[in-house]
A and B are shown apart, each in its own frame.
Chain A
Amino acid sequence: MRAAPKHQRLALVLLAMAALVGAALLAMWGLGDRAAYFRTPQDIAAGRADVGQPLRLGGMVQQGSIEKQPDGVSIRFVVTDGPASVPVQFRGITPDLFKEGSGVVAEGRLTPAGVFTADTILAKHDERYMPPQLGNQAAELATRQTLDR
């Protein structure tokens, strides 16, 4: 099994290349069904989301839509982006910035019944967490709040 030095360098280079290609293939395989796509309610209404795929649903929490469930730790609410809306269910402690009328991103999956089951809820003053058209509204709101202070 002893390789001559000249061939050894070649063998090592080939091994390194194989490792790189292997890493790329592995990454592509993993990303295929594990990356969570960002979707707005309009996207979902247009059928741009598969049931059971990991998704990030972004929009505004519709006014008056938060309903607490009897167990005290589950809620249902509606995420809207104006023309379309999606009902969401979540079990857990919501972040403090999660309010009706403010931006939200829910990570989870769409059920066959059309309800979005969220595993995680993110609510931040950050336009990255909002669909662009809502991001501007939120930025204006944030500016006004800062001025009021």
Chain B
Amino acid sequence: MIAEAGLAALWLAAALSLLQLVASLAGPRVPELRRLIVPVAAAQGALTLFAFLMLLWLFLRTDLSVQLVAANSHSMKPWIYRFAGTWGNHEGSMLLWVTVLTVAGALLALLERRLPERTLHATLGAQAALALGFFAFLLLASNPFARLVPAPRQGLGLNPLLQDPGLAFHPPTLYFGYVGLSVAFSLAVGALLTREVGPALARTMRPWVLGAWVLLTVGITAGSYWAYYELGWGGWWFWDPVENASLMPWLAATALLHSISVLAARGGLRTWTIMLAVVAFSMSMVGTFLVRSGILTSVHSFAVDPARGSFILALLALYVGGALFLFATRVGTVKEGAGFDIVSREGALVLNNLLLSVILGTVFVGTLYPLLAEAVSGEKLSVGPPYFNAVTGPLTLALALLLFIGPLLRWRRDSRPNAPRIAAPLVVTVLAFAASFVLDPAMSALARLGLGVAAGLAVASLLPLAGRNLRRTPLATWGMVISHLGVAVAIAGAAADTAFTEETLAAARPGETLAVGPWQVRLGSVVPVAGPNWTAVEGRLSASRGGRTIDLQPQSRFFSDPPTETNEAAIRTLWDGQLYAVISGAEDGGRWQLRLWWKPLVTLIWLGGGLIALGGLLALLGRWWRGRRRVREPELAYA
């Protein structure tokens, strides 16, 4: 009965989204229908949330008469994985997607007060059109509540790679981010429909974009760390299609965030902001398409199903095509914003947007090129780190260099930029660049540049605070400073990882010692251990450096349902880096394969990601707080 209740709620919610669409189309002429829009949006959100909770309950109870549960769960699994297993599969994750979409629509309907009512209604119509397509996808092509008769006695289990606490947080965080951008998309469509593109739209859009951007940043950072420790390959970013699928909306949202600030503060970049809002959500849909269709192989694809891929592709074409058509026909009615000089805050933000767009374009082309090549020439190929690093690395450093100057410029025109302030970080960069030659003559050029730019940016990011009364500085300005500092920290971590990582790969007998960087690592013994649903061999390692000894226990685990082997890397974080150890389960004549890394300063990568997200959160809180006080102050920051 739980499954049927969930399914009924889904159908009802789908019907309500159709009603919401019709009501907002007819709304301008029929006041009775107009009054329905907001309550219907709220009811639709509540019903979808109910359906999602029903699925969650089925997974927690391991109800094997439901096909999805039988195919992805197992009653012997720890409860946290039964819980998170709800979205560790195609149908469940799509239901989560739609749930977040409709709940966001409900919140927009209930909480938004700044927008003219006409625009709000048009926006909710666009949101309903989005929801309707995904309801159709869910109900017609991926019903999560389908029954299985007869019920099997045991479930097939969850992919062991996914049996990790990370699964509980990583996909929902990214989905909240993806879907937050759907609100920006709907707002852009709504404003185009009612021809009200202006600063009020930007102020409404900003908290949604900022919130989505914070969650995407957190999701990407956490996903990167998850892949780093779970895969046991020692890398933190693999340019896997699915990683790119989360990076592309983030890049677009980052550009959007900066152009929104120009629209909100100065009324400029109107059409560009609308375009970016459309692009950002399109990238979320492309991401969903890439992940859900399994069309590009990656560790994230659960199943390959061309029919589902085509369905999402059709939705993608419909929504993006529709929005672009609307954009093309209405762009002439968008008013011209205020002008500005090239040397100005706006000018720097335009350059920021162009660089981010170029990075986005190259990542997009690289990610989809294998599909294109196979369709055109039948040639199978893959595009990996050599391409992405070569193309995005220099562009990212150029973007970082822009950050030296941009935040220090005045709005509209800056005829006398503050030369000493701009020069200071450049001097730091040159000094750090020179120091890298002394430190390590063999370092790669990109790593050297990265360290130099990171050092300069760390100084430059703090300069907007110089000469200010820190206690009276708005939270939004603090947010900007902290996010930009986070960029410097992350670049420093990535450059340090490239430049200083030491690796040792060897087969060792118990009692033997291996060297990696400054560490002497001794393999004490290898012992069998067992967990709730796995058995493993565990290496007992002790690593010493200058009289200090730490223990490491990497495992190679064997899961029985389904039969799989995974590496549990042992990672120890020290103040100056991480020691990372992997053991292979295959014994060869009394020797065990060990892979050891010493990664100085690698933790800065995720610390930087955390700072970037924290800055966004502060800006969001600051805006919210100021919005509550309703004080009209001049715009001081742009995060």
- CB contacts (< 8 Å) of B564 on chain A: these are 96
A121 CB → nearest B CB, Å: 12
**Beta-carbon contact of A72 and B381 below 8 Å:** no
The segment out of B173-181, B384-392, B436-444, B608-616 that lies at the interface is B384-392
**Beta-carbon contact of B387 and A92 below 8 Å:** no
The segment out of A18-26, A81-89, A110-118 that lies at the interface is A18-26
Does B112 interact with chain A (Cβ within 8 Å)? Answer: no
B 586-599 to A, binary, CB cutoff 8 A, 1 in contact else 0:
10100101010000
**Beta-carbon contact of B297 and A126 below 8 Å:** yes
Does B380 interact with chain A (Cβ within 8 Å)? Answer: yes
Does B125 interact with chain A (Cβ within 8 Å)? Answer: no
- CB contacts (< 8 Å) of B505 on chain A: these are 73, 91-93
Known: A23-B358, A38-B382. A1 touches B595 (CB 8 A): no
**Beta-carbon contact of A26 and B584 below 8 Å:** no
Known: A34-B383, A73-B505. A19 touches B341 (CB 8 A): no
- CB contacts (< 8 Å) of B588 on chain A: these are 68, 72
Does B117 interact with chain A (Cβ within 8 Å)? Answer: no
- CB contacts (< 8 Å) of B380 on chain A: these are 37-38, 56
- CB contacts (< 8 Å) of A2 on chain B: these are 339, 341, 413
**Beta-carbon contact of A3 and B339 below 8 Å:** yes
A9's contact among B336, B370, B382, by CB below 8 Å, is which?
B336
- CB contacts (< 8 Å) of B582 on chain A: these are 93
Known: A1-B341, A9-B336, A72-B591. A30 touches B390 (CB 8 A): yes
**Beta-carbon contact of A30 and B387 below 8 Å:** yes
- CB contacts (< 8 Å) of B80 on chain A: these are none
- CB contacts (< 8 Å) of A96 on chain B: these are 564-565, 585
Q: 28 interchain pairs (CB within 8 A)?
A: A5-B338, A6-B336, A12-B269, A12-B350, A20-B357, A24-B365, A26-B362, A30-B391, A31-B387, A34-B386, A34-B390, A36-B384, A38-B379, A38-B382, A56-B382, A73-B505, A73-B506, A73-B507, A91-B505, A92-B595, A93-B505, A93-B582, A93-B584, A93-B595, A94-B584, A96-B565, A107-B382, A129-B297
**Beta-carbon contact of A15 and B386 below 8 Å:** no
Does B342 interact with chain A (Cβ within 8 Å)? Answer: yes
Interface SS of chain B: mixed
A16's contact among B354, B383, B593, B595, by CB below 8 Å, is which?
B354
A8 to B272, CA, bound (A): 13
Which chain A residues (61-76) contact chain B, with CB distance < 8 Å? 68, 71-73
A22 to B585, CA, bound (A): 48
A86 to B506, CA, bound (A): 26
Does A54 interact with chain B (Cβ within 8 Å)? Answer: yes
B603 CB → nearest A CB, Å: 24
- CB contacts (< 8 Å) of A9 on chain B: these are 271, 336
B338 CB → nearest A CB, Å: 8
**Beta-carbon contact of A5 and B358 below 8 Å:** no
**Beta-carbon contact of A35 and B341 below 8 Å:** no
Chain A contacts to B: CB under 8 angstroms:
1-6, 8-9, 12, 15-16, 19-20, 22-24, 26-27, 30-31, 34-38, 54, 56, 68, 71-73, 91-94, 96, 107, 124, 126, 128-129
Contacts between chains A and B (CB distance < 8 A), count: 122
**Beta-carbon contact of A24 and B361 below 8 Å:** yes
- CB contacts (< 8 Å) of A94 on chain B: these are 584, 586
**Beta-carbon contact of B361 and A20 below 8 Å:** yes
Chain A residue nearest to B566 (CB atoms) is A96
A104 to B567, CA, bound (A): 19
Chain A residue nearest to B366 (CB atoms) is A27
B275 CB → nearest A CB, Å: 8
A77 to B297, CA, bound (A): 25
Does B200 interact with chain A (Cβ within 8 Å)? Answer: no
Known: A19-B357, A23-B361, A93-B584. A8 touches B507 (CB 8 A): no
The 3 closest A-B pairs by CB, nearest first: A72-B507, A23-B361, A38-B380
Does B369 interact with chain A (Cβ within 8 Å)? Answer: yes
**Beta-carbon contact of A22 and B584 below 8 Å:** no
- CB contacts (< 8 Å) of B586 on chain A: these are 94
Known: A38-B380, A129-B297. A27 touches B362 (CB 8 A): yes
B352 CB → nearest A CB, Å: 12
B553 CB → nearest A CB, Å: 17
- CB contacts (< 8 Å) of B585 on chain A: these are 96
A129 to B585, CA, bound (A): 24
- CB contacts (< 8 Å) of A16 on chain B: these are 272, 354, 357
B402 CB → nearest A CB, Å: 14
**Beta-carbon contact of A31 and B383 below 8 Å:** yes
Does B304 interact with chain A (Cβ within 8 Å)? Answer: yes
Which chain B residues (136-195) contact chain A, with CB distance < 8 Å? none
B380 CB → nearest A CB, Å: 4
A124 to B297, CA, bound (A): 11
A124 to B410, CA, bound (A): 56
- CB contacts (< 8 Å) of B71 on chain A: these are none
Does B343 interact with chain A (Cβ within 8 Å)? Answer: yes
**Beta-carbon contact of A128 and B297 below 8 Å:** yes
A12 to B248, CA, bound (A): 22
- CB contacts (< 8 Å) of A36 on chain B: these are 381-384
Known: A2-B341, A56-B382. A27 touches B565 (CB 8 A): no
**Beta-carbon contact of B272 and A12 below 8 Å:** yes
A137 to B338, CA, bound (A): 66
A72 to B304, CA, bound (A): 37
A62 CB → nearest B CB, Å: 19
**Beta-carbon contact of A1 and B304 below 8 Å:** no
Chain B residue nearest to A7 (CB atoms) is B339
A19 to B413, CA, bound (A): 23
- CB contacts (< 8 Å) of B373 on chain A: these are 35
Chain A residue nearest to B272 (CB atoms) is A12
- CB contacts (< 8 Å) of A34 on chain B: these are 383-384, 386-387, 390
**Beta-carbon contact of B350 and A54 below 8 Å:** no
**Beta-carbon contact of B357 and A26 below 8 Å:** no
Chain A residue nearest to B563 (CB atoms) is A149
Known: A35-B369, A72-B588, A73-B507. A15 touches B354 (CB 8 A): yes
A114 CB → nearest B CB, Å: 22
Chain A residue nearest to B595 (CB atoms) is A93
- CB contacts (< 8 Å) of A5 on chain B: these are 336-339
**Beta-carbon contact of B297 and A27 below 8 Å:** no
A30 to B395, CA, bound (A): 13
A91 to B507, CA, bound (A): 11
A126 CB → nearest B CB, Å: 6
**Beta-carbon contact of A72 and B272 below 8 Å:** no
A31 to B362, CA, bound (A): 10
**Beta-carbon contact of A35 and B391 below 8 Å:** no
A128 to B505, CA, bound (A): 29
